[in-house]
Amino acid sequence: MNDGSLTVLAVAQLGVLAGLILFPIAAYAMYRTVRYVLSLPDGRRGRAREMLRIWAKRIAVAIGVVVIVSYGLDVRQRLRAGNCQREASPQESGPYMAEMCLLPARGSVLLRLYSRTTGALLVERMYEDPEPRLIWTRDEVIYDTAATDGKGSVSLPPTWLDRLRAKLP
């Protein structure tokens, strides 16, 4: 097993452990909520609305935590990229430099597209490919030939959204 497989296994075990701990807590909290709402015949509708607002906040916080943890693990994996190879774009594609780095997860690749004139990072994408290679055209660079719906390519010049995402850690 390589380091990437161990990381995925550890995350999976952590997820199962968190589920075993959080499920009984959530079930008890739901029981308490129903008990509170039904405690008295008068004002049930108001108590139900109050608990609905509280649960909406709890769910929003839980979703936020999951997104932040997932993004943090993604950043951690990108920081461990190594064995990088650079490839300059042909003249007709524009002044770009592509860098492909292998990630610890097996078969995963980090593609970074830079401006050759300024050296600024323009695009950063992660994808899975056991044998990464680039195909340069006049309007795009294709990095994943197996992808569908245009998800395996970057338009040239990169979109403002690609440039914005590249600035995030």
Residues 6+ apart with CB under 8 A from 135: 141, 142, 143, 145
Bridge partners for 123 per DSSP: 113
- Collapse the DSSP code of 20 into the 3-class scheme (helix H, G, I; strand E, B; otherwise coil) and give the result: helix
Q: Are 161 and 116 contacting, i.e. CB atoms less than 8 angstroms apart?
A: no
Q: Which tens digits make up the pLDDT trace of 15-48? A: 788 778 888 888 888 899 899 888 888 999 999 9
Closest CA to 113 of 133, 150, 87, 135: 87
Output the average pLDDT for the chain.
82
Q: Are 11 and 73 contacting, i.e. CB atoms less than 8 angstroms apart?
A: yes
Q: Which tens digits make up the pLDDT trace of 89-118? A: 887 777 888 888 888 766 788 888 998 888
pLDDT at 53 over 80: yes
Long-range CB contacts (within 8 A, 24+) of 94-98: 94/156, 94/157, 96/122, 96/141, 96/156, 98/134, 98/141
pLDDT at 77 over 50: yes
Q: Which tens digits make up the pLDDT trace of 106-156? A: 678 888 899 888 888 888 888 887 777 888 888 888 887 777 776 788 888
**Residue 90 or 160, more confident:** 160
